[in-house]
Amino acid sequence: MFFRHFFALCALAGLLAGAETPKAIEFSVGNMDLKTDPCVDFYQYACGGWMANNPIPPDQAVWVNFDVLAERNRAILQDILEKASTSKLGRDADSQKIGDFYHACMDVPSIDRQGLNPLATLLNEIRGAGDKKALLLVSARLGVDGVSAFLGFGVGPDAKDSQINIAQLGQGGFSLPDRDYYLKDDAKYVDIRKQYLEHVRKILQLAGATPAEAAAGAQAVLKIETELAKAALDRVSLRDPNATYHKMTVQQLAGLTPVVDWPKFFSLSGAPAIESLNVSEPAFLQGLEKTVASHSLGDLKIYLRWQLLHHEADLLPAGFETETFAFFGKVLTGALEQKPRWKRCVDLVDGDLGFALGRKYVEETFGVEGKQKTLEIVRQIETALHTDIEHLDWMTPATKKEALVKLAAVANKIGYPDKWRDYSSVRIDRNDAAGNDLRATEFESQRLARQIGKPVDRQEWYMTPPTVNAYYNPQENNINFPAGILQPPFFDNKMDDAVNYGAVGMVIGHELTHGFDDQGRQFDADGNLKDWWTPEDAKEFEKRAQCFIDEYSSFVATDSIHLNGKLTLGENTADNGGMRLAFMALMDSLKSKPQPKIDGFTPEQRFFLGFGQIWCNNIRPEAAALRATVDPHSPGKHRVNGVVSNMPEFQKAFACKANQPMVRHPACRVW
C-alpha cells in the first residue's frame, strides 16, 4: 500500500547501522575544523573533525549523525526484543508478537531448512495462472503482501476532498532505484544493468531454475521492467500534485487497461467496492497494457516470481540474502559488508510491527518533558512564520490572508500516537520468519484498504516512534516528529538554546516550511489541492524558487554528477526557510537574556554550528551518485553551505566579506 503523501526531513531508504554501538552524540567543538575559514567552507569548518574521526563503517554506504542516532535507537530496540524473544510465560501480547517475530528472524538454521516453503502458496498461484488476466489477479494478491509487481495500489486522501480516503493507483513494478537506471545510456548505467541481469539470473537459479532458464528469465525480467520504466513519469514530474491527480470511474479505468479485471483486482486487494479512484499516471496504465500484450504468459510469470523472491530475499536461505546484498548493497551503494543479522531483524520488526515495538521504546526513552519542550519550540517557530508572512514584501494582502489561515490550521503531532495500533489479529510464529513478514504486511495492507471511502484519520502516524526523521503531510496539514529524533544532537536538555534551535528548531522550521514550498503551497488549509494564490504572487514565488533551482543545480554530488535542482527544490526551500524561522525564534527568545559566549562562540555562531553538525556525514561515491539520482534531499555539505550562503545573519555572525564563497550573490530566499 502507498500514496500517503508527505515530505520527510531526510531520505527514507532505511535506517543505517554501524559496526559498533556509538556513544551518546553531542554538539562539540571537537567536531570542528578550526583551520578552515567558516566564510570559505562552513560545512568543513563545522564538521571537519567529525568527518576525520568517523569513517564509514564497512557495512554502510553513508554515515551521518542521523544514522549514529538511529544506531543508538537500534541498540535500545535490540535490548527490548532480546528480552521479549524468550518464550517465558507472562509476556504481554505486544511482547509476544515482537519477540517471536525477532526470534524467527534470527533463527537462520530454521530459515535455511525451510527453503522456499514459506512462499509455496504464492509461487503455486503464479505457476497455476491459466492466462494473463488470471496472472494479473495474482499480482493483486502479491500486492497485499507488499510485492509491487506491475503497478502500485493503495489508499490516500482525495487530493481535492481531503476529508475522504479514496483508492489510488499508479506506477510501480521496477526493482532498480529509478527509471533512469533502465533508460540512460551512460557507461555507469549500462554496467549496472549488466550486473543487475547477472543478479536476477543468480536469484532465479537459486530458486530452482536451470542455468539456461535462469539466463532467459533474467532477460525477460529486464525487458519487462524497462518497458514499465519507459511508461513511467520521472521523479521531477511526480513532484507536481496536479500532474498525478486524475480521478476516474472504474469503467474509465477499464478503458485504459482492459486486460485487468479491475473489480476482482480490487476485491483481491482487500478493498471494498470502488466506484471511483485516483489514477496518478494514466499513461503508465496504457503502457502496462502494451507490456502485458507483448510478452508471453511464461515470461510474465517469471517476472512475478522474481518480484516475490526479491521482496522476501532477506528472510530466505543465506544464498538469497548474500546475493541480494552483493548487488543492492555493494554495487548500488558501495557498502563493503552486510549488516549484522540482529540489526536487519530489528529493522524488520520495526517495519512490520513498528507501533507495538515503538510503544515499548517510548516507555523506555521518551518522557512528558521532551514532548512539552518540543511543543514550546514549535509554537515559537509558528509565531516566527506568522511574522515572516506578514512582513513579506513580495506577497499581496489577499494571498497573505490565505497563507495565515493555512498556518493557523497546522496541527502538531509530537513523539507518538495517542492511540496505539492493535496487532492482535496478526499471527506470529516463532518458526516462520518469511510467513510472519507476509502476514504482517497483509494485515497492514488490508487495514489500509478498509479505509477506502472512509473519513481520513488525521491522528494516524506514518512513521514509527523510534524513527530518526520527521515529516509534513500536506493533505492533512500537520507536522510530525517521532520520539526517535527528539534526542541529542537534535534536542539536548544539557545544551544552550542556541544549539538546540539550530538543530531541532531547524527541523521544526523545515517541516513547517514544507506547507509553503513548491508542492505544499498548492494545498489549502484543509489539505485540498486548490490554488489559493493570486497569479501575481504565484509568479513571484516561481521567480524565487528558480533561484534555488539554479543554486543547487550548480553543486556537484560526486565526479561530474550535479544535483538536480528541480528534484531537490522542495527540500532546499524547506531547509532555507526552516533556518530563517529557527533563527527568528532564537533571537526572540534571547532578547531579554544576557548572551555570553560559550566555548568562545556567540549564540548566533553556536546556532549555525548546531545546524551544521546535524548534517556531518561521510558518503561513498556510489551512494552519492545514487542519491543524486533519486533523493529529493541535497547532500549534507550542500544542505549546510547552500543555506548559510543565503543568510545575511550567518555572514554577520562570522564577519564574512562580500566576495567570500559563503556569501552568495544573489542570495536566494522565498520565506
| Catalytic residue numbers, as ranges | 511, 575
Annotate 588-626 with b (16+ C-beta within 10 A) or e (fewer): ebbeeeeeeeeeebebbbbbbbbbbbbbbbbbbebbbbb
Nearest-angstrom CA–CA distance, 468 and 107: 28
CB 108 within 8 A of CB 388: no
CB 438 within 8 A of CB 145: yes
Helix (H) or strand (E) holding 66: helix 65-84
Instruction: Categorise residue 384: left if φ over 0, alpha if ψ from -120 to 50, beta otherwise.
Output: alpha
Nearest-angstrom CA–CA distance, 206 and 317: 10
Strand, coil or helix: 249: strand
Annotate 35-72 with b (16+ C-beta within 10 A) or e (fewer): ebebbebbbbbbbbbbbeebebbebbbbbbbbbbbbbb
Nearest to 330 by CA among 197, 199, 179, 218: 199
Give the pairing of strands 161-171 and 561-562: unpaired
Give the count of beta carbons closer than 10 Å to the beta carbon of residue 116: 18
Nearest-angstrom CA–CA distance, 415 and 362: 8
Going by C-beta distance under 8 Å and a sequence separation of 6 or more, which residues neighbour residue 596? none
Helix (H) or strand (E) holding 507: helix 506-514
Q: Identify the sign of the CA torsion 139, 144, 146, 151.
A: positive
Nearest to 466 by CA among 614, 343, 354, 344: 354
Query: Cell 531483524, residue?
Result: 345
Give the count of beta carbons closer than 10 Å to the beta carbon of residue 189: 17
CB 627 within 8 A of CB 638: no
Helix (H) or strand (E) holding 63: strand 62-64
Query: Cell 486522501, residue?
Result: 157
Angle between helices 120-128 and 297-311 (to 10 degrees): 170
Nearest to 423 by CA among 367, 470, 359: 359
Helix (H) or strand (E) holding 264: helix 262-268
Nearest-angstrom CA–CA distance, 512 and 503: 14
Peptide bond connecting 417 to the previous residue in cis, omega within 30 degrees of 0? no
Nearest to 628 by CA among 175, 108, 178: 178
Residue 598 is classified by DSSP as B
